[in-house]
Amino acid sequence: MRKTFINTEISYIYPMSTWILQPTTQKIIESIVSNNEISEKSIKKSIKVKENEIRKILYKLEELGIVAPIGAFTLKEGKLDFKWKVKITDIKKVYEIIINKEIAEIDTELENMPDTIYYCLECGISYDTDSAYENNFQCKECGSILVEKENYKKLQLKELKEKLIDILNSIKKPEKTREKIKTTK
């Protein structure tokens, strides 16, 4: 695999991994940042990613103020292509913006996530505190008594946040001292 700006291995490890750590996202970002203006078809040509995926990422980047749509234009064959202005061409800055936004979103999610959940050992179904309480702490499916356990999703999300902070810190470092982010499988 081609080396990307960010070590992407972690996207395969964390099931809750964010869009920014997906190799496709990184390919798209890296193909646009060196230009002031890009067209969707030209991105597609250079990195061989489906157009709808490209547009999905461009919309996200637009929300973050990194790109802005210029408009549609017709190609010789009568097909439409779409042009985008690249407002931020410094890749470090682009990633800083995206990762900071991701961390802020994770923080909000963590705030609203309970530390523990209720779980049926028979069916493997999880309940939040409210629904466990409503059902007298019994499983709706089989009637087993629910057990309280740590919310694994919350732990994963916290771990993901730590990884994003690591990536952010490594981006901020000067090129030479940038370390590879260690990952384990």
Using CB under 5 A, list all residues that contact Zn ion. 120, 122-123, 139, 141-142, 144
Going through 40-130 in order, the beta strands assigned E by DSSP cover 67-74, 80-86, 116-119, 126-127
The position carrying tokens 């466990």 is 132
- Smallest gap from Cβ 59 to Zn ion, in A, equals 41
Closer to Zn ion by Cβ: residue 37 or 141:
141
- Smallest gap from Cβ 156 to Zn ion, in A, equals 23
Q: Which two tokens stand for residue 127?
A: 């309940």
Closer to Zn ion by Cβ: residue 63 or 128:
128
Amino acid at the residue 118: Y
- Smallest gap from Cβ 8 to Zn ion, in A, equals 39
Q: Do residues 16 and 155 make contact, with C-beta atoms less than 8 angstroms apart?
A: no
Closer to Zn ion by Cβ: residue 140 or 153:
140
- Smallest gap from Cβ 122 to Zn ion, in A, equals 4
Question: Number of C-alpha atoms within 13 angstroms, CB side, residue 96?
Answer: 11
